[in-house]
Amino acid sequence: DTAVSQTPKYLVTQMGNDKSIKCEQNLGHDTMYWYKQDSKKFLKIMFSYNNKELIINETVPNRFSPKSPDKAHLNLHINSLELGDSAVYFCASSDGTEGWETQYFGPGTRLLVL
Amino acid sequence: SQQGEEDPQALSIQEGENATMNCSYKTSINNLQWYRQNSGRGLVHLILIRSNEREKHSGRLRVTLDTSKKSSSLLITASRAADTASYFCATDAGGAQKLVFGQGTRLTINP
Q: What is the pLDDT of residue B7?
A: 86
Q: Which chain A residue has the Cα nearest residue B105?
A: A41
Cβ contacts (< 8 Å) between A102 and chain B: which residues? Answer: 33, 45, 48
Q: What is the pLDDT of residue B3?
A: 62
Task: Considering only the beta carbons, identify the residue of A41, A48, A100 that sits closest to B86.
Answer: A41
Cβ contacts (< 8 Å) between B98 and chain A: which residues? Answer: 33, 45, 48, 56, 58, 99-100
Cβ contacts (< 8 Å) between A56 and chain B: which residues? Answer: 97-98
Task: Considering only the beta carbons, identify the residue of A42, A92, A97 that sits closest to B103.
Answer: A42
pLDDT tens for the 114 residues of chain A, in order: 679 999 999 999 999 999 999 999 999 999 999 999 999 899 999 999 988 888 888 878 999 999 999 989 999 999 999 999 999 999 999 998 887 889 999 999 999 999
Q: Do B44 and A99 touch (CB under 8 A)?
A: no
Cα(A113)–Cα(A84) distance, rounded to whole angstroms? 8
Cα(B83)–Cα(A60) distance, rounded to whole angstroms? 34
- Nearest Cα of chain B lies from the Cα of A105 at a distance, in angstroms, of 6
Prior bond of A8 cis (ω within 30°): yes
Cα(B106)–Cα(A40) distance, rounded to whole angstroms? 11
Q: What is the pLDDT of residue A1?
A: 62
Q: Do B98 and A99 touch (CB under 8 A)?
A: yes
- Provide Rg for chain B, Cα atoms: 13
pLDDT band at B1 (very low <50, low <70, confident <90, very high): very low
| Ramachandran category for residue B23: left, alpha or beta (phi over 0 → left; psi -120 to 50 → alpha) | beta
